[in-house]
Amino acid sequence: MNSRRRIHVRVTGIVQGVGFRFFVCRVAQNLGLVGYVRNCVDESVVLEAEGEPNGISALVEAVRTGPPGADVRNTATHPRPVHGSEDEFEIRW
């Protein structure tokens, strides 16, 4: 049985121009997750992450705080189907 999970998260607040994407990417990579993070035109940040449930939970907790300078006001997390096709976590532009 595959225990991997995939989630989509939209983060709002002061999350652009404060190193948020780099923070998310570093945390996700350290947790062995794959996926991506990117800025949106509405000044939010979205990410999709896939991996073991404990790693996913740890990433969500880290995202709720963010790096110094960020002011996370809301995180909306939704499950997604597991892809299994990615081999890294990256920043998308």
Q: How do residues 60-76 score in pLDDT, each as one tens digit? A: 999 999 999 999 999 99
Residue 10 catalytic?
A: no
Query: Could you say which of 2, 21, 26, 74 is catalytic?
Result: 21
Residue 39 catalytic?
A: yes
* pLDDT band for position 1 (cuts 50, 70, 90): low
| Phi (first) and psi of residue 60, to 5 degrees | -60, -40
Q: What is the pTM of this model?
A: 0.96
Q: What rounded mean pLDDT belongs to the chain?
A: 97
Cβ atoms of 80 and 11 closer than 8 Å: no
Query: Could you say which of 38, 39, 73, 92 is catalytic?
Result: 39
CATH architecture of 5-84: 2-Layer Sandwich (3.30)
Cα(18)–Cα(34) distance, integer angstroms: 22
pLDDT at 36 exceeding the cut of 80: yes
pLDDT of residue 32: 98
Cα(51)–Cα(82) distance, integer angstroms: 9
pLDDT at 26 exceeding the cut of 80: yes
Residue ranges per domain, the chain?
5-84
